[in-house]
Amino acid sequence: MSLDLSQNDLSHVVEADRAHVWHHLSQHKPYETSDPRVFVEGKGMRLWDTKGREYLDAVSGGVWTVNVGYGRESIANAVRDQLLRLNYYAGAAGNVPAALFAEKLVERMPGLTRVYYSNSGSEANEKAYKMVRQIAHRHYKGKKWKILYRERDYHGTTIGTLATSGQPQRAEQYGPYPDGFVMVPHCLEYRKQWDVENYGQRAADAIEEVILREGPDTVGAIVLEPVTAGGGVIVPPEGYWQRVQEICRKYDILLHIDEVVCGLGRTGSWFGYQQYGIEPDFVTMAKGLASGYAAISCTVTTERVFEMFKDDPADPMSYFRDISTFGGCTSGPAAALENMRIIEDEGLLANTEAMGERCLANLQALMDKHKVIGDVRGKGLFLGAELVADRTTKEPLDEKRVQAVVADCLAQGVIIGATNRSLPGLNNTLCLSPALIATPDDIDRITDAIDAALGRLAA
């Protein structure tokens, strides 16, 4: 039986939502008194809520997820067919879409060969951290157990991944945390920590300084976002990634790239790291992997990492003793296979690059008009505009005014985002991440809405 969506039911839905759903990232009071948006339907980049209001979604489902857009019949059909054939089997046995998707995925990731399935970005990252820890136990006599992470980066919501939160405000009140996670400085040139010419090199050198301080033989891995998402849409400066790679090789440190946001086309290449020519040891991905049509995440590694878990008859604990119950759902890889086919056949990587350039140019033009924009940054359809109270001091614009811009766009029927609500110092960057199918008209409508909202803000 499918859901009956008569108008009567829809007003009841809003009441049920208000009464019983504990919403993510929401303070209770403001939500209770708000006019909540409960979405009913989506098509392409458009959404409709219970009141029949139409929106242009410039944030791909709120958090950079619906890369190929809403209402994709072919993904629904692929999932349906697979569920009727076989919905699930977990553990050591395999299933058809998982095998076929793993093969297709690594074909697009030269140097990587093994795919470990789970359900969320946090989980994919936790798996990689556990692998690093087990490698330390098995191959380095308990050394090389520390994992470095970067200021402003985010890797998930579990206790383990929060221990690598570069946004300390997110981790506050959930401790104590496990040991061995060490923060390195961020690389956002707009908010310079060093007054030097070659900022990329300097920011990467700061990682080496932490490694030397901690002792290179204690550091096993570093986890980094290729382009930082929630921490402010940070596109690393020239030369940064090459130097990071050099440092990792020099000290035998595994490079873990968190592609939970950038993966599957967001930056205009299959993966964000591929924009910078680096060779990671771990790549984790989730959101765009199946564009939100099913829950799936992957931890992808090299053969070298896989081989470090080689069976050792003298050590019955030598294999990776981990499981993810819903890593055995076939809906995830079935949806991911079709999602990948769509990105390829519809030329969405090239579209992302072209539309990203258009969006960035539009935002840059808005900078001339609106002094409140301190900086604009972006790679592909992953863009940010940092709002400041004063361009010279770069004092962040206060959250109320940033949210007023988001609310104004919403009133115009355009959903945009802003980084890190209620996290002081991180809450002043407007975020855009339209689906990879965006057209020039969609892009212009989004930036026109921001233009109008900033005009009203100034007035």
Binding region for ligand PMP (CB under 6 A): 63, 120-122, 125, 154-157, 225, 229-230, 258, 260-261, 286
- State the nearest-atom distance from the C-beta of 217 to ligand PMP, in Å: 28
Contact 75, 335 (CB under 8 A): yes
Picking from 25, 434, 425, the residue whose alpha carbon sits closest to that of residue 231 is 425
DSSP for 11-80, written as a single string: HHHHHHHHHH---TT--HHHHHTS----EEEEEBTEEEETT--EEEESSIIIII--TT-B--HHHHHHHH
CA–CA distance, 167 with 152 (Å, rounded to integer): 5
| Beta carbon of residue 283, minimum distance to ligand PMP (angstroms, whole number) | 12
How many residues are listed for the chain in this entry? 459
How would DSSP label each residue in 158-181?
A: SHHHHTT-S-HHHHTTS----S-E
Q: Which of residues 153 and 408 has its CB atom nearest to ligand PMP in the complex? A: 153
3-state secondary structure of 10: helix
Extended strands (E) in 286-395: 297-301, 373-378, 383-387
State the nearest-atom distance from the C-beta of 24 to ligand PMP, in Å.
Answer: 9
Question: Whole-angstrom distance between the N-terminal and C-terminal Cα of the chain?
Answer: 52
To ligand PMP, the closest distance from the beta carbon of 113 in angstroms equals 23
CA dist., res. 383 & res. 429, Å (int): 10
As a whole number of angstroms, the distance between CA 263 and CA 274 comes to 10
Q: Which is nearer to ligand PMP, 121 or 327 (CB)?
A: 121
DSSP 185: -
Considering the complex, state which of residue 97 and residue 230 has its C-beta at the smaller distance from ligand PMP: 230
**Beta carbon of residue 456, minimum distance to ligand PMP (angstroms, whole number):** 30
Nearest distance from C-beta of residue 162 to ligand PMP, angstroms = 10
C-beta of 260: minimal distance to ligand PMP in Å? Answer: 3
Which residue's entry shows tokens 């759902």? Answer: 329
Shortest spacing between CB 328 and ligand PMP, in angstroms: 18
- Which of residues 63 and 233 has its CB atom nearest to ligand PMP in the complex? 63
Residue closer to ligand PMP by CB (options 362, 420) is 420
Q: In what order do the strands lie in the sheet with 39-43?
A: 39-43, 46-49, 54-57, 414-415
Tokens representing 186? 């961020």
Strands (E), 320-448: 373-378, 383-387, 414-415, 417-418, 429-432
Q: Which is nearer to ligand PMP, 208 or 225 (CB)?
A: 225
User: What's the closest the beta carbon of residue 267 comes to ligand PMP, in angstroms?
Assistant: 13
Give residue number: closest CB to ligand PMP. 121
Q: Residue 432, SS3?
A: strand
For ligand PMP, the closer CB: 50 or 275: 275
- Residue 182, token pair as written in the block: 């060490």
- In whole angstroms, the minimum distance from the beta carbon of 284 to ligand PMP comes to 7
Q: Which is nearer to ligand PMP, 162 or 454 (CB)?
A: 162
Of 366 and 416, nearer to ligand PMP (C-beta) is: 416
Q: Are 448 and 455 in contact (CB under 8 A)?
A: no
Q: Which helix (H) or strand (E) covers residue 147, if one does?
A: strand 146-150
Shorter beta-carbon distance to ligand PMP: residue 44 or 434 = 434
Report whether 326 contacts 119 (CB < 8 A).
yes
Q: How far is the CB of 19 from ligand PMP (least distance, A)?
A: 25
Cα–Cα dist 450/193, whole Å: 30
- Closest to ligand PMP by CB, 121 or 220: 121
Q: Is the Cβ of residue 154 or residue 309 nearer to ligand PMP in the bound state?
A: 154
Output the smallest distance, CB 300 to ligand PMP, in A: 14
> Are residues 101 and 94 in contact, defined by beta-carbon separation less than 8 angstroms?
no
